[in-house]
Structure 1
């Protein structure tokens, strides 16, 4: 069984070094990048499928050359066998639609797998569009918000439990033919129910760590010509979404003063206790702990 996981690098907002050009487009090459957090759940779904049904796991991303490290991280997480980076200046500044066109073309070049996994949404765009749009381009059946899944290889079917959000959170069971596209919900929890599964997981972990150290040996990089896409339909030119402007989020003004205290200084620590004592008395009077 062949499974493919789509992953993406997103800006590491913790670093505070997000860079935009004069047109408001994110300059990913100048911005610290980490793997999209929601993709971790898709990677776990692929790993569970690999453990239970053997086969091969591939990971694919579209982005600048710096995404190689993101793919390396994904390989170590899902114990993947091979990596694919779709990278080209013609693909820069793509919205979700242009990204979906590019990814679907790359998937067809790879050979449509039995299962394609995608994360719920990305931390930068927050749209949740790329997975479903890629699926639409591939004309595959899709299951969204999957929280558990299993595959019947003989029947060529996948069954999943998916989260349904309404007035209350509900879970429904759905089933469809392979090949299929699965968008994995953050509530997904992998399950390794047998001793065989756990032993297989341990064996895969050992070999995957070695493979991840030399990940470039199993990395394939494609440009737009390799996946046979017209530059007019990808990147900025193929993106119907228009970003009118991007405003930086201002830092909130500091409203509190901080006093540095040396824990070894008895006088300074006594001052801290004196400052806290009135609040402790108020809490005790109110019945607090």
Structure 2
């Protein structure tokens, strides 16, 4: 069983980590990059598949050289055997369509040079784009079946099929059971939860974690970087030139008004500390709710 996990680096939107300029625009260069939160569910699905069925798992991302750290995180969490970064200046400013074309070329190159892929795992949507288009568009470019909003899955290696439960949202949320042939794409839902019911699965999980600690320490030795020439991509169809999306305007993020008042106290002042404890005590007992 050979799987690929697609992951992306996004700005760290946690409180205090995001940097904005004076106009309220995001400063990516000053904001830390982390793995896209929704990709972590795809990572968990890939790990569950590997624990249950064995095989080889690779991580793949498209972005600047700094995304190697995101792939390192994938190695540490999904225990990838190796990682692949699609990166050069010709790929900059790609929209979802140009990204999908590039990822498709990356997957095809992988199959030519490494081995046939059984499953590609992708996250629901990115925290910075929020389109949810890249996974489905890449599946379309590969001409592979795709299952989205996956809550649970398993593989029948003899029949070469994937069976999954997926969330169908509507007036009433329903769970749909589907079956698709391999190779295929899987887009996980944020409600996906991996399960390891057998003792053998839990032991395998523990063994993989131990093996990965040494590999992740030298993750760069297991990283392959491909540029657009390696992928045989025409610059006219990738990056900004190959992106049909037109952004008409970018609005600054409004700054939230300061509504909280802060009282500064000296930890060494007993009177001030006593006043603070008296103020906080009702909340500690639940009376201040």
Q: Could you say what secondary structure the match of 2:46 adopts? A: helix
Aligned to 1:12: 12
Matches within 5 A, 1:1-289: 1-14=1-14, 15-17=17-19, 31-111=31-111, 112-262=116-266, 265-269=269-273, 271-272=275-276
Q: Aligned partners of 1:92 and 1:70: how far apart in 2?
A: 17
Deviations 1:53-78 (A, max 9, x none): 11100000000000000000011100
Distance 1:12 1:18, change over 3 A: farther
Contact 1:90 1:224 in 2 (8 A): yes
* CA drift at 1:13: 2.8
TM-superposed deviation, 1:250: 3.0
Cα RMSD after superposing both structures: 2.4
**Given the two structures, how large is their TM-score scaled by the length of structure 1?**
0.89
Shift of 1:229: 1.1
Q: 2:252 & 2:37 partners in 1: Cα distance?
A: 22
Ranges in structure 2 where 5+ consecutive residues have no aligned partner: none
**Counterpart secondary structure, 2:175:** strand
Q: Deviations over 1:140-182 (max 9, x none)?
A: 0000000100000000100000011112222111001000100
Change beyond 3 A, Cα 1:13–1:272: same
Distance 2:97 2:33 in 1: 22
SS of corresponding position for 2:248: coil
Aligned length: 279
In the alignment, is the contact (CA less than 8 A) between 1:160 and 1:175 conserved in 2?
A: yes
1:96 to partner: Cα distance: 0.5
TM-score normalised to structure 2 length: 0.89
2:150–2:186 Cα contact (<8 Å) kept: yes
